[in-house]
Chains A and B, each alone.
Chain A
Amino acid sequence: MSSEPILSIKNIEVLYSRVISALHGVSIDVHKGEIVSLLGANGSGKTTTCKAVSRLLEAERGEVSKGSIEYKGKDISNLTAFDMVKAGVVQVLEGRHIFGHLTVEENLLTGSFIRNADTASVKKDLEYVYDRFERIRTRRKNLGGLCSGGEQQMVAMGRAMMARPNLILLDEPSMGLAPQLVEEIFEIVKTLNEEDGVSFLVSEQNANVALKYASVGYIIENGRVVLKGDAKELSDSESVKEMYMGGGGDEVSFRDVKFYHRRKPCMV
């Protein structure tokens, strides 16, 4: 793409507790209005990449030790997690992280606080979120902790939408959900992307669905981007098919993949 990316991760390295190296050379661009998926096995560094952008890394005693991250052309290294949300970048955490003792609606409300908006406009946003996530409308008075996994994923995404973000960092939305629900979640992602103009960086182990909805895909392994390309091409590419999507058709879980030979790396 030719336009300036909205998010540009430039060759970053991340250390936890000053010594544990989690990322060594990750570069990712997300353009405005794009869905980019970040694929990789357990421990490859997907969550770390998202947290580097949302600045939640600090809460885990992690730091970006090399490279830089730019959002809308500006370096974010001096911003806090609060600043990032304020600027329109919200992470939806892996494992959903719903406020269990708050109701669904209270969960959504917490997402709106960053805007300091008046009650009327918050009400409107609530309605909008319930329109997008019909399933949780009837659960609004229920405690978040008692919702099903799929509902919780929707609450987490709805909560993020209440901040009216430009970019959502969606970390493993499919985790622990039935295939049908995963499709449903990704359909909503598509709607939010197409109708509301939200850009997405989606981290996933489920390469099939993630590449189906994304325009660009990155494959990360042991803290390094090893493959980047057009989502369509990636899902058609023999090596990716074979190693990540189970070649013959029955799905081999990403979790089982330990080694693979990069027969024809697109570009790195």
Chain B
Amino acid sequence: MDYAFFIEVLVGGLLSGIMYSLVAIGFVLIYKSSGVFNFAQGTMLLLAALTFVSLTERMVNFWVAFAITLMIMVVLGIIIERTVMRPLANQSLLSLFMATVGLNYFLEGLAQGVWDSAVHGVNLGISNDPIFLIDKFPEMGLDIIVSYFDMAAAGIAGLMILGLSLFFTFTRTGLSLRAVSDDHLAAMAVGIPLSRIWAIVWAVTGVICLIAGLLWGDRVSVSFTLTSAVLKGLPVILIGGLTSIPGAIVGGLIIGASEKLGEIYVAEWIGGQGIEHWWAYTTALLFLMVRPTGIFGEKEIERV
């Protein structure tokens, strides 16, 4: 077996996995704060990327377009809290979930109504050249090549994850979020304003969607198919649990690595093409057989 090649595939997988982690964190934040799975996340991602591309296509400067889109996503988060979350606050979780389904179709219509449904290319200006990660021992065949873009994308996603983790670990908002996630009623009883937590969380998710949408869009173009990018987040939360940010990070890395390794080493055994669509889910299911609660899935704390 060619170890250098194996490591190269593994590193490539881990790098793309960081992106999956980022998308999964979007799900985790909303689930933690309101107990609902956000069906609309894929469309939020498309909306963000499409808005950015459409602005740059209209000759808006790159950073101006980025700032405008960022603002739109934050405001959108606040509007969603006002118009969807707050009125449904005391309704069943099923109504809330159905509301995110509705939101999904609304945003889809909005994105394609305001902009269009064509396929756009994004160029973030990050080169796609290969770089040598390790080239010290070429005589031993230990040169490992990864794409510069993958490195940069993983770096950006990683920084964002780091920032979010610090924010939600060390700030009052972070502690409030964890409190809300533990016990809604108790959080209200001590005067934690649920609506403010929701607004922050939806706004942050909007920003995550923007970053992920752009990085993904650069790789595969911005069109309706971008909404399926979040499907990569689902196996991640199967593994990491819906309530754990560290779980989402590790889960993303596992799925990313398994996906690339599966493509190279498993695909030929089981009929080749198309494995990427389901291999990640298989990994997640296999994982769940071993650890039904996921990696960091919150253990029920119960005294007997």
Query: Do most interface residues of chain B lie in helix, strand or loop, or is the interface mixed?
Result: helix
Instruction: Report the separation of the CA atoms of residues A162 and B190 in the bound assembly, to the nearest whole angstrom.
Output: 9
CB of A113 within 8 Å of the partner chain = yes
Rounded to whole Å, the gap between the CB of B3 and the closest CB of chain A is: 41
Chain B residue total in the interface (Cβ 8 A): 24
A56-B185, A110-B176 are known contacts. Are A101 and B301 too (CB-CB below 8 A)?
yes
Interface string of B148-190 (1 = CB under 8 A from A): 0000000000000000000000001001101101111111111
Contact in complex: A100, B190 (CB < 8 Å): no
CB of A146 within 8 Å of the partner chain = yes
Contact in complex: B191, A81 (CB < 8 Å): yes
Contact in complex: B191, A59 (CB < 8 Å): no
Instruction: Report the separation of the CA atoms of residues A56 and B89 in the bound assembly, to the nearest whole angstrom.
Output: 13
| Beta-carbon nearest neighbor of B186 in chain A | A97
- With a 10 A CB-CB cut-off, give which of B89, B185, B302 has the most chain A CB atoms: B185
CB of B298 within 8 Å of the partner chain = yes
Contact in complex: B182, A99 (CB < 8 Å): yes
| Interface range, A side | 35 or more
CB of A264 within 8 Å of the partner chain = no
CB of B192 within 8 Å of the partner chain = yes
A99-B179, A102-B179 are known contacts. Are A114 and B191 too (CB-CB below 8 A)?
yes
**A contact residues around B193 at 8 Å (CB):** 82
Rounded to whole Å, the gap between the CB of A244 and the closest CB of chain B is: 28
A82-B193, A90-B190, A111-B190 are known contacts. Are A145 and B302 too (CB-CB below 8 A)?
yes
**B contact residues around A109 at 8 Å (CB):** 175
CB of B90 within 8 Å of the partner chain = yes
Rounded to whole Å, the gap between the CB of A129 and the closest CB of chain B is: 13
CB of B58 within 8 Å of the partner chain = no
**B contact residues around A230 at 8 Å (CB):** none
Contact in complex: B302, A93 (CB < 8 Å): no
**A contact residues around B189 at 8 Å (CB):** 54, 56, 81, 85, 90-93, 97
Contact in complex: B301, A58 (CB < 8 Å): no
**B contact residues around A162 at 8 Å (CB):** 190
| Beta-carbon nearest neighbor of B191 in chain A | A85
Instruction: Report the separation of the CA atoms of residues A162 and B191 in the bound assembly, to the nearest whole angstrom.
Output: 11
**B contact residues around A90 at 8 Å (CB):** 189-191
Contact in complex: A146, B303 (CB < 8 Å): yes
Contact in complex: A99, B176 (CB < 8 Å): no
A32-85 contacts to B (CB < 8 Å): 54, 56, 58-61, 81-82, 84-85
CB of A86 within 8 Å of the partner chain = yes
Contact in complex: B178, A99 (CB < 8 Å): yes
Interface string of B99-132 (1 = CB under 8 A from A): 0000000000000000000000000000000000
A97-B183, A143-B301 are known contacts. Are A102 and B191 too (CB-CB below 8 A)?
no
B188-240 contacts to A (CB < 8 Å): 188-193
**B contact residues around A85 at 8 Å (CB):** 189-191
**B contact residues around A99 at 8 Å (CB):** 178-179, 182-183, 186-187
Pick from B90, B184, B185: contact of A61, CB under 8 Å: B90
A87-116 contacts to B (CB < 8 Å): 90-93, 97-102, 106, 109-111, 113-114
- With a 10 A CB-CB cut-off, give which of B191, B298, B301, B303 has the most chain A CB atoms: B191
Instruction: Report the separation of the CA atoms of residues A111 and B188 in the bound assembly, to the nearest whole angstrom.
Output: 10
Contact in complex: B179, A110 (CB < 8 Å): yes
Contact in complex: A145, B301 (CB < 8 Å): yes
Instruction: Report the separation of the CA atoms of residues A90 and B192 in the bound assembly, to the nearest whole angstrom.
Output: 12
Contact in complex: A97, B185 (CB < 8 Å): yes
Contact in complex: B185, A110 (CB < 8 Å): no
CB of A163 within 8 Å of the partner chain = yes
Q: Chain B residues in contact with chain A, CB under 8 A?
A: 89-90, 172, 175-176, 178-179, 181-193, 298, 301-303
25 contacts between A and B (CB under 8 A): A56-B185, A56-B188, A60-B90, A82-B191, A91-B189, A93-B189, A97-B186, A97-B189, A99-B179, A99-B182, A99-B183, A99-B186, A101-B181, A102-B182, A109-B175, A110-B175, A110-B187, A113-B175, A113-B190, A114-B190, A143-B301, A145-B302, A146-B301, A148-B303, A160-B190
Give the top 5 A-B pairs by smallest Cβ distance, nearest first. Answer: A85-B191, A145-B301, A97-B186, A114-B191, A99-B182
| Given A93-B189, A101-B298, A110-B192, 8 further pairs, Cβ under 8 A | A54-B189, A61-B90, A81-B188, A90-B190, A99-B178, A99-B186, A101-B301, A110-B175
